[in-house]
Amino acid sequence: MAEKLFAEFPPVSTQQWEEVITKDLKGADYEKKLVWRTQEGFSVRPYYRAENLKDLKHLGTAPGCFPFVRGTKDNNDWLIRQDYCACEGDYAHANAQALDGLKKGVTAVGFCVDGKKPIGKADMETLLKGIDLSKTEVNFTDCCCAAPEIIGSFLSVVKAQGVKPEEVKASFDFDPLRVLNQTGAFCSDKSMDQLKDCVEAVKDYPGIRVIGVEAYSFNDAGASISQELGFGLAMGSEYINKLTEMGLTADEAAKRIKFTFSVGSAYFMEVAKFRAARMLWANIVKAYGAQKECSLKMKVHAVTSEWNQTVYDPYVNMLRGTTEAMSAAIAGIDSLEVLPFDYAFRAPGEFSNRIARNVQIILKEESHFDKVVDPSAGSYFIENLTESIAEAAWALFTKVEEMGGYVAAFKAGFIQNAIKETSSKRDKNIATRRETILGSNQYPNFTEVADKDITKEIVTRKPAPQVSGNMIGQPLEKYRGAQAFEAMRFATDKSGKKPVAFMVTYGNLAMCRARAQFSCNFFAVAGFKVVDNNRFSTPEEGVKAALEAKADIIVACSSDDEYADTVPQIAQLADGKAIVVVAGDPACKEDLMSKGITNFINVKSNVLETLKEYQAKLGIK
C-alpha cells in the first residue's frame, strides 16, 4: 500500500506562518522588511502558497493551447542562433562564419545587414552559399527601407535552389518603429506603407516572418521588464492595425510578425515575462478578429541583454549570458542568441562565439532543458509573477492604445518619459550599489586595466540628439548600465596615475577588518590601487606606513568608539600629505567634521559621485 509522504507532519496555515514571521521581526515593519517593490511597479511577497493561485485566470491550460502561457508547442526545443555581420563587402566572410557555426552547433543563423541598401541576387547567393535553406532558419536583422528588395533577393535564391516554399524558415525584421525608437524618425516617409509589400511578397511561404518587433530596444535604454513587454505589444498592435487598414486580415498580419525580446538578469521575472507575453499577444490578436489558432501564437526570439554587459571584468558576461539563457529556455522561446562576452567592445572572435554557442548546447545536451515543457508551471512564485507582469504590461499597453497607438504615444513623449524615469532610478540604484553590477560597481578585479580594444567612446554614454528636421520625437538613449562606472575607471587607467588608497587598520579587530574590506572594494571600483593591512598596533604606526608607501588616500578603519580621538590624530599626522577618509558613519561624525574631517564612506554613499570627487581632488579627469 502506497504511503503519503510527509503525512506525519501536520499542515501549517498561512496565519501560523505569519504569526511566526511577525514574532521574528520583533516589531519591524513587515511591508518594509519583507515585501519587495519591483521596478515593474508591483510588489512581491516574501513567500507564496497554493492559496495564492486561486484567483489566477491563466491557469489550467496545457502547452500549445490558448492563451499559450505555457508555450506554443508541445515540446521545449529551441533554435540555437548566432548572428554575423553582413554589411556591404562582408558577405563572403559572414557566409564563412555562418557555415562554421552550423558545423559547431548553430541551428539558425542571423545576418546583420545595412537595411538602407538593397542586397542584389549575386551578393545574396554569396551570403547563402552552402546553407541548406530547407533545413536552416535564416534571419536578417536591421532591415530598414530596403527590406522589400532584400526579401526579393532572398526568394530568388530560394527558387534557384529549388527549395519548396513550405520548407523555408526565415525572418526579416522590417521594423520601422524600432528605427523610430533609435533615431526619433522613420527610415523613410514610406516605411509604414511598405509593410503590406513585405507581407504580400511572402504570401506563398508560410514559414517566413517579415515584420520584426524589436522590443529589446527598450531594454537597451534601461526600461523595466513590464515596459519592454507593454511597449513591445503596442508596437505589434500598431503593425496589425496598419495592415488591417490596408486590407489584410488579422490572420494574414499576425502570422508575419516576430518578436525579439531581451533576457535580463532578473532570473524568475524573465521566465514570467515570456509566459505573460504569449498570453497577452494571443488575446490582442484574437481581439483583432483572427480566426486561426496559428495566428494567435507569438513567435519569439530572445537575445541576452546588452544593457547588462560590461567591458571591465568581461568574462563575467559569460556567467550573465548563462543565467539569462536559462531563463529564456525555461520560458519556452522559439530561438535564442547568447551575445559573446566581448560583444560590447569588439567584434567577437572564434573563442567568444564558441563559448556563446556552447552555453546553449550545454543547456540542451547536458542539462536537458529542451526535454520538459514549461517546467515552471505551477510554481506559486512564478505563476504570480506571470500574472503581475501581465497586469503591469497590460496597463501600459492600454494607455498607449488610449493615446491613439504607438506612434502617437511616441510623438507625445509618453514612452520616452516612462523609460527615462525607470532608467534614472536604475542609474541611481547602481550609483549607490542598491543594484549590483559585478566587477563594475561592486567586487571589481583590483588589478585589471582596460583592454586594448576599449576606447573612451565605448565607455562614454552618448546623449540622444535633440529633435530636429524629420524627427517626430526624442529617440531612446541606448546605453549599458555599467558605463558610468566604466568611464570613471577608464579615466584612472588613462590618466598615467595610479592613486594609492592605504588602509590604516587599528583597534577592534572585527570592525577594522570589515571596514578595510569594504573600503578596498570601494576604492578599487575606480581603478585605485588599494593596500590592505591586518591591523596596526597604533594609528601612528599605520600613518607612518601609509606615508612611506606614498599613499594618496589614508582610510581610517576601526570602530566608531575609537574614531572620536584617533581620527583627528591621524589627520594631524598626515599633515595634508594624503586625503584622510573615515570608513563608516560614526555617531561622532559631526564632531569630526567640526575639526576639519570631511571625508566619509559607508554603505549609504553614492559610490559613483564620491569616487569622482576623489578623482577630481587627485587631478584625474
Determine the pLDDT at residue 190: 87
Both 465 and 361 in a single domain? no
Domain interval for residue 376: 79-402
C-alpha cell at 207: 514559414
Q: Indicate whether 246 pLDDT > 90.
A: yes
Same domain, 299 and 341: yes
> Quick check: is 466 in a domain?
yes
What's the pLDDT score for residue 434?
A: 95
Asked whether residue 101 falls in the same domain as residue 194, the answer is yes
**Among residues 254, 256, 245, which one has the least CA distance to residue 285?**
254
Distance CA 238, CA 428 (A): 33
CATH code where residue 529 lies: 3.40.50.280
Helix (H) or strand (E) holding 550: none
pLDDT one-digit tens code per residue, 76-120: 999 999 999 998 778 999 999 999 999 999 999 999 998 888 999
Specify whether the CB–CB gap between 492 and 444 falls below 8 A. Answer: no
Distance separating alpha carbons of residues 19 and 30, to the nearest angstrom: 11
Contact 124, 153 (CB under 8 A): yes
- H/E stretch holding 299: none
Considering only the C-alpha atoms of the chain, give the largest distance between any 2 of them, rounded to a whole number of Å: 87
Average pLDDT of span 337-354? 96
Cα(first)–Cα(last) distance of the chain, in Å? Answer: 77
In this structure, is residue 72 part of a structural domain? Answer: no
**What is d(CA 183, CA 595) in angstroms, rounded to the nearest whole number?**
53
pLDDT band at 386 (very low <50, low <70, confident <90, very high): very high
Least confident residue range of 8-12, 62-66, 371-375, 601-605 = 8-12
Residue 532: pLDDT over 60? yes
> Is residue 341 within 8 Å of residue 356, measured between CB atoms?
yes
Residue 154 pLDDT greater than 80, yes or no = yes
Distance CA 12, CA 18 (A): 10
Q: Which residues contact 333 (CB under 8 A, 6 or more apart)?
A: 78, 274, 300, 301, 302
Q: What mean pLDDT is predicted for residues 147-172?
A: 97
- Using an 8 Å Cβ cutoff, are 361 and 80 in contact? yes
Residue 575 scores a pLDDT above 60:
yes
Checking if the pLDDT of 470 tops 70, the result is yes
Share of the chain above pLDDT 90, in %: 93
Same domain flag for 92 and 153 = yes
Written as one string, the DSSP assignment of 81-150 is EEEEE--TT-HHHHHHHHHHHHHTT--EEEEEEEETS---HHHHHHHHTT--TTTSEEEEEEE-TTHHHH
Residues 391, 416 within the same domain? no
Phi, psi of 519 (to 5 degrees): -70, -35
What is d(CA 306, CA 335) in angstroms, rounded to the nearest whole number?
Answer: 17
Average pLDDT over residues 36-43: 92
Q: How confident is the model at residue 2 (pLDDT cuts 50, 70, 90)?
A: low
456/530 same-domain check = no
Same domain, 466 and 512: no
Q: What percent of the chain is helix, strand and coil (3-state, nearest 5)?
A: 45, 10, 40
The reply to whether 99 falls in a domain is yes
Return the pLDDT at 97.
96
- Cross-strand bridge partners of residue 504: 556
User: 86 and 128: one domain?
Assistant: yes
539/603 same-domain check: yes
- pLDDT, the chain, mean: 96
| Residue 596 grid cell | 576639519
Neighbouring CB atoms inside 10 A of 449's CB total 15
For residue 144, what pLDDT band results from cuts at 50, 70 and 90? confident
**Are 483 and 509 found together in one domain?**
no
Q: Among residues 445, 462, 491, which one ends one of the domains?
A: 491
- Where does a domain end: 467, 491, 515? 491
pLDDT at residue 602 is higher than 80: yes
Q: Which of 446, 462, 491 is the last residue of a domain?
A: 491
Give 415-469 as a DSSP string: HHHHHHHHHHHHHHHHHTTSS--BTTTBS--TT----TT--HHHHSPPPPPPP-T
| pLDDT value of residue 419 | 98
- Please check the confidence at residue 505 and state whether its pLDDT lies above 60: yes
> What distance lies between CA 387 and its chain's CA centroid?
21
Instruction: Give backbone dihedrals phi and psi of 232, rounded to 5 degrees, phi first.
Output: -65, -45
Grid coordinates belonging to 407:
506612434
pLDDT tens-place string over residues 508-528: 999 999 999 999 999 999 999
126 part of a folded domain:
yes
What is the mean predicted confidence (pLDDT) over 518-547?
Answer: 97
* Residue 598, domain member (yes or no): yes
Domain total in the chain: 3
- 170, part of any domain: yes
Which CATH number fits the domain that encloses residue 364?
Answer: 3.20.20.240
Buried b (16+ CB within 10 A) or exposed e, 548-584: eeebbbbbbbbbeebbeebbbebbebbeeebbbbbbb
**125: in domain:** yes
pTM of the predicted model, to two decimals? Answer: 0.95
Residue 361 shares a structural domain with residue 481: no
Percent pLDDT > 70 in the chain is 100
Indicate the pLDDT class of residue 1, thresholds 50, 70 and 90.
Answer: low
Going 278 to 280 to 284 to 287, the CA torsion angle's sign is positive
**Of how many residues is the chain composed?**
621
Query: Which pLDDT belongs to residue 115?
Result: 85
Residue 47 counted as domain residue: no
Residues 391 and 257 in one domain: yes
